[in-house]
């Protein structure tokens, strides 16, 4: 079987979309001859990785529209335009390649957003879309806590999604997909409204087996003060302001809350911690290299991830693989990753209720070491059984067989 994959973002050794793209194609290439369309900026990193760890069944086609090879990440307006143009060019790259190679299936992997089309759906072979997400929304009651910048972001994001849903090519992508994979229930509902068939929830994020084994080696600290940790960019929708308020309300002397990452909300979070009297308990570490970040995770007891609209949540998986229980809001991707056996999901109907729920969860886990251990062990088991990229690759393999069986029955 020959598979053609669209992976606009694809870079080894990364998190986010880039890591999801690389890990997805690496899993597929263990079973199939896999051709990958991706951006030129990832070529050096990919070729360096393949020189160290060759994968003979993996083949890359690098390109960028109009020779625009700049790294647009972080520039949302520009990157969205570049992405759309790249998708158009991907079709014209793929059409002659398919005539030459005779692909069995085409699979769109990244970017994983439901409101932008993949023109590869126009190829005359079965098209699988996703996992795609982005259908999650921060409940409107939480907007009052956002800065002006945050509110503008949410308005523009909502507008972009609505415009994208009206794009006829997005609707064609949905209707021509033989299977659409959604990162969350919220995204599943929006894909179904677009006309996608055979929609199912399938998480975008995962961890390589070696990473799972490495994280499992982090022992839970003993004879030290309880430490909660959050890892990610300091953005309004990450909900870290809710965690700071919860720490203040919980009144847990000696407990520390570590924030790893940087971003536009840092000054507001620092001011909030000082105003609430927990400045000495909240430590801002800033941006750290990945190895140092994971080392800091190993020094803590509980991962706190109060995101308001996260499609994935790689941080949650890292915490779970390290045997740390996770506290999250019952929203988006983290809500599908975390179960009652592995952590605590806090309802998020409004900020007051969410802060109270987070404070109660923090208190409960700070006071009960046996519960932390039990949840942590169950977390590791869940990651191994569901979020190992090899396991995810096996699920995709079964999906491919079902898709091709249906195709042959139709013929």
pTM value is: 0.88
Concatenated DSSP letters of 276-324: TT-TTTEEEEE---HHHHHHHHHT-SEEEE--SS-S--HHHHHHHHTT-
* Contact (Cβ atoms closer than 8 angstroms) between residue 145 and residue 266: no
Domains observed in the chain: 2-203+389-410 (3.40.50.2000), 209-386 (3.40.50.2000)
Token reading at 403: 């898709």
- Cα(336)–Cα(294) distance, integer angstroms: 23
What does R_g of the chain's alpha carbons equal in angstroms? 22
Helix 314-321 vs helix 290-298: crossing angle, to nearest 10: 50
Cβ 234 vs Cβ 262: under 8 Å: yes
Angle between helices 16-28 and 389-410 (to 10 degrees): 60
What is the residue-level pLDDT of the chain in tens, covering all 411 positions? Answer: 899 999 999 999 877 788 889 999 998 998 899 999 999 999 999 999 999 999 999 999 999 988 877 776 666 667 888 899 999 999 999 999 999 999 999 999 998 889 999 999 999 999 999 899 888 888 999 999 998 999 998 998 899 889 989 999 999 999 999 999 999 888 999 999 999 988 999 888 889 899 999 999 998 888 779 999 999 999 999 999 999 999 999 999 999 999 999 999 999 999 999 999 999 999 999 999 888 999 999 999 999 999 998 887 789 999 999 999 999 999 988 999 999 999 999 999 999 999 999 999 999 999 999 999 999 999 999 999 999 989 988 888 888 888 888 766 665
Q: Is the dihedral of CA 108, 114, 116, 121 positive or negative?
A: positive
């Amino acid at each position: 079987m020959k598979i053609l994959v669209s992976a606009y973002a694809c870079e080894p050794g990364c998190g986010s979309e880039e890591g999801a793209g690389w890990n997805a194609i690496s899993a597929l290439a263990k079973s199939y001859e896999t051709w990958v369309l991706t951006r030129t900026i990832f070529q050096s990193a990919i070729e360096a990785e393949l020189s160290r760890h060759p994968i003979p069944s993996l083949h890359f086609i690098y390109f960028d529209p109009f020779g625009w090879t700049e790294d647009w990440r972080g520039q949302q307006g520009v990157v969205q335009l570049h992405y759309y143009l790249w998708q158009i060019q991907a079709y014209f790259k793929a059409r002659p390649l398919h005539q030459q190679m005779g692909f069995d299936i085409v699979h769109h992997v990244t970017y994983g957003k439901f409101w932008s089309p993949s023109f590869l759906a126009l190829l005359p072979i079965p098209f699988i879309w996703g996992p795609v997400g982005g259908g999650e929304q921060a409940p409107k009651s939480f907007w009052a806590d956002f800065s002006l910048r945050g509110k503008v972001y949410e308005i523009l994001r909502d507008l972009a999604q609505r415009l994208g849903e009206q794009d006829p090519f997005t609707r064609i992508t949905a209707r021509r997909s033989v299977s659409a994979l959604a990162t969350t229930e919220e995204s599943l509902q929006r894909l179904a409204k677009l006309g996608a068939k055979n929609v199912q929830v399938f998480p975008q994020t995962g961890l390589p087996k070696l990473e799972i084994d490495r994280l499992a080696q982090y022992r839970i600290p003993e004879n030290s003060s309880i430490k909660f940790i959050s890892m990610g960019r300091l953005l309004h929708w990450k909900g870290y302001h809710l965690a700071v308020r919860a720490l203040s309300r919980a009144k847990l002397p000696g407990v520390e809350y570590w924030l790893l990452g940087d971003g536009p909300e840092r000054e507001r979070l620092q001011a909030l911690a000082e105003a609430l009297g927990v400045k000495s308990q909240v430590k801002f570490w800033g941006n750290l290299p990945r190895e140092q970040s994971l080392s800091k995770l190993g020094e803590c007891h509980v991962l706190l991830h109060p995101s308001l609209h996260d499609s994935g949540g790689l941080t949650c998986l890292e915490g779970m693989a390290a045997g740390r229980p996770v506290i999250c809001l019952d929203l988006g991707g983290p809500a599908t990753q975390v179960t009652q056996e592995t952590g605590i999901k806090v309802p998020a109907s409004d900020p007051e209720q969410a802060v109270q729920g987070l404070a109660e969860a923090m208190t409960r886990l700070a006071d009960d070491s046996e519960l932390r251990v039990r949840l942590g062990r169950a977390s590791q088991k869940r990651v191994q059984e569901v979020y190992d990229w090899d396991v995810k690759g096996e699920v995709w393999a079964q999906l491919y067989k079902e898709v091709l069986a249906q195709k042959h029955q139709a013929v």
